[in-house]
Amino acid sequence: MSDTQHPEWEPFMRRALELAAQGPLTGGNPQVGCVLVDAAGRVVAEGWHHGAGTPHAEVDALSKLPTTADGRPDASGLTAVVTLEPCNHTGRTGPCSVALLNAGVARVVYALSDPGKRSSGGAAHLRAGGVEVIDGVLRREAEAFLHRWLTAVARNRPWVTVKWASTLDGRAAASDGSSQWITGTASRQRVHEEREASDAILVGTGTVLADDPSLTARGDAGELMPHQPVPVVVGERAIPGDAALRRHPAGLIESRELVDDPRDLAAILAALDARGLRRVYVEGGPALASAIVAGGFADEFSIYLAPALLGGDRLAIGELGIPTIGQALRLRLTAIEQLGDDLHLRAIPTTPEPAKEN
Ligand SMILES: NC(=O)c1ccc[n+]([C@@H]2O[C@H](COP(=O)([O-])OP(=O)(O)OC[C@H]3O[C@@H](n4cnc5c(N)ncnc54)[C@H](OP(=O)(O)O)[C@@H]3O)[C@@H](O)[C@H]2O)c1
């Protein structure tokens, strides 16, 4: 079913969404795509946002047009189809609404309004400049595509994915504390990919002191992937001077240096958001993961289940403050995949999270 009164623009918006997906998930900015269409319905240029600090999608597409005598991109008579309302502010780059106006576009079609307090107003600026503006084309698809980013922006805190690896009986370590490795290589490679798609990795001091993890994102051959999430160690205890995390290529953030109370998860997440770290991947251990879930901060779960049993009391998730079955935190599975001998489950909460206990 058509989303709008303008189905003629939907194929172009679908292409713009495909282009948007080529941009990075990390870096704090949304993935945005743009196509420039002439009066005959031909796509004459395409662009997408390549990441924070680089030209926005509209400017990237305009840069591929021939220029006028005074050196401006010549978009006269063209329609710009863009997945997000053109921005109206000067950040690390100039306002896209002005770039589109200066280039002479006749019409701008977009899917989603810009939710940013400082960057919105682009549509009004374009209309005031005499450009026809159509909004809401494939809005639902675009909302689904940008769901994590939109949620983070609306809440002023990052999108939080809680990951753990456990045995079928829900244990995350053996009785001696060892947990490397519960799952097989295919699962561990997927974890590296999930790290690379994150801005920050959260880990408790307990895991750092027990395992001395490197928390880098690595490829099949152990090579560093192009993007490295910054590790954030949560807790009061200091990290040893020779810890592997001190050699992490993205640096190291200790929550005790970030906020007054190094266990205050709301404050830590707000501080990370303020740094443009919008996608956070929680790698445990059980105490930190439980506190994230109990605090209502878990937006998504990524669970790796190995066909093994460990028994004992080292559960992947500990006390959540749920007194009775009727108050269980119910999840909806969004993906199930077999990775080698393991199962990888993705899930989102379906009921309101339990109230914060501490
Ligand atoms: N299977 C897996 O996926 C997996 C993943 C990670 C770890 N592990 C295993 O888990 C074990 C470590 O477990 P753990 O639970 O001690 O590790 P943890 O959750 O990484 O660290 C716990 C520590 O985090 C700090 N912390 C910070 N904020 C907190 C909060 N809001 N609530 C509670 N604690 C907070 C506390 O230390 P301070 O006193 O410093 O504040 C606490 O003692 C190891 O055996 C490791 O191998 C398994």
Give the residue-averaged pLDDT of 248-254.
97
How much distance in Å is there from the Cα of 234 to the middle of ligand 1? 9
Contact 117, 153 (CB under 8 A): no
Nearest residue (by CA) to ligand 1, atom 37, is 235
pLDDT at 322 exceeding the cut of 80: yes
Give the residue-averaged pLDDT of 269-275.
96
CA–CA dist 96, 187 (Å, integer) = 41
Give the residue-averaged pLDDT of 169-194.
95
Give the residue-averaged pLDDT of 249-268.
97
pLDDT at 345 exceeding the cut of 60: yes
Nearest residue (by CA) to ligand 1, atom 6, is 285
Picking from 210, 280, 268, the residue whose alpha carbon sits closest to that of residue 234 is 268
Whether pTM exceeds 0.85 = yes
- Ligand 1 binding pocket (C-beta < 6 A) is 164-166, 172-173, 177, 179, 182, 203-207, 210-211, 234-237, 263, 265, 283-288, 291
Would you state the structure tokens that stand for residue 68, as one six-digit string?
A: 């006028």
Predicted local confidence at residue 89, as pLDDT: 80
Q: Which helix (H) or strand (E) covers residue 296, if one does?
A: none
**For all residues of the chain together, what is the average pLDDT?**
93
Predicted local confidence at residue 352, as pLDDT: 57
* Residue of 205, 319, 358 to mutate, ligand 1, most atoms within 8 A of C-beta: 205
Residues 6+ apart with CB under 8 A from 326: none
Predicted local confidence at residue 7, as pLDDT: 93
Where in the sequence numbering do the catalytic residues fall?
A: 58
Predicted local confidence at residue 358, as pLDDT: 43
Q: pLDDT tens, 115-152?
A: 877 767 889 999 999 999 999 999 999 999 999 999 99
How much distance in Å is there from the Cα of 286 to the middle of ligand 1? 5
Q: How confident is the model at residue 3 (pLDDT cuts 50, 70, 90)?
A: low
Predicted local confidence at residue 195, as pLDDT: 97
The Cα diameter of the chain in Å comes to 76
Predicted local confidence at residue 332, as pLDDT: 97
Nearest residue (by CA) to ligand 1, atom 36, is 235
How much distance in Å is there from the Cα of 173 to the middle of ligand 1? 12
Q: Which helix (H) or strand (E) covers residue 305, if one does?
A: strand 300-306
Report angle CA 10, 11, 13 to the nearest 5 degrees: 60
Predicted local confidence at residue 93, as pLDDT: 67
Q: pLDDT tens, 67-110?
A: 988 888 999 999 999 999 998 887 766 788 889 999 999 999 99
Distance of CA 18 to the CA centre of its chain: 17
Picking from 38, 37, 45, the residue whose alpha carbon sits closest to that of residue 19 is 45
How much distance in Å is there from the Cα of 272 to the middle of ligand 1? 19
* Residue of 180, 212, 263, 304 to mutate, ligand 1, most atoms within 8 A of C-beta: 263
Atom of ligand 1 nearest to the CA of 179: 47
Give the residue-averaged pLDDT of 277-290.
95
CA–CA dist 319, 292 (Å, integer) = 11
Give the residue-averaged pLDDT of 229-250.
96
How much distance in Å is there from the Cα of 215 to the middle of ligand 1? 15
Residue 233 three-state SS: strand
Strand partners, 342: 339
Predicted local confidence at residue 4, as pLDDT: 59
Nearest residue (by CA) to ligand 1, atom 27, is 235
pLDDT at 208 exceeding the cut of 90: yes
| Cβ neighbour number for residue 262 with a 10 Å cutoff | 18
